[in-house]
Amino acid sequence: MPVISRFFGILIAIYWDDHAPPHFHAKYSGEEAVIEIKIGQVIKGNLSKKALALVEEWRQSHVDELMADWELARQRKPLNYIEPLE
């Protein structure tokens, strides 16, 4: 599980060679949500409203970087770290 960012206790990861649509995993306090990169829809799982709002704010600022990491993951290449939310 390549971790690509961490902020406020939230861990963000993209798995190598994962299924479409392009998405990332957000984990926080024992919960996990799978979130579509381009539109921010929760595909699976759950996060608290506060954690989900932080993840969405971060996602909106990093869509291009997330898509670049998604493409690297599809090729099983090392992923780039993405700056955390501050």
Evaluate whether residue 82 is within a structural domain: no
pLDDT at 1 (0 to 100) = 76
Q: Summarize pLDDT for 17-65 with one digit per residue, the tens.
A: 888 999 999 999 999 999 999 999 999 999 999 999 999 999 999 999 9
Whether 47 is covered by a domain: the verdict is yes
In one letter, which amino acid is 15?
A: Y
Angle 63-74/49-61 helices, nearest 10 degrees? Answer: 90
Question: Percent helix, strand and coil across the chain, each rounded to 5?
Answer: 30, 30, 40
- Residue 54 carries which side chain, given as an amino acid letter? L
Inside any domain, residue 85 = no
Residue 81 within a domain: no
**Inside any domain, residue 45:** yes
Total number of domains constituting the chain: 1
Over residues 3-8, the mean pLDDT reads: 98
How confident is the model at residue 15, as a pLDDT? 95
The first and second tokens of residue 65, run together, are: 């970087």
For residue 67, the model assigns a pLDDT of 98
How far is the C-alpha of 38 from the C-alpha of 41, rounded, in Å?
8
Domain with 39 in it: 3-74
Q: How far apart are CA 48 and CA 51, in angstroms?
A: 5
Position 60 in a domain: yes
Residue-level pLDDT at 42: 98
Q: Residue 57: inside a domain, yes or no?
A: yes
Q: Is the residue at 83 inside a domain?
A: no
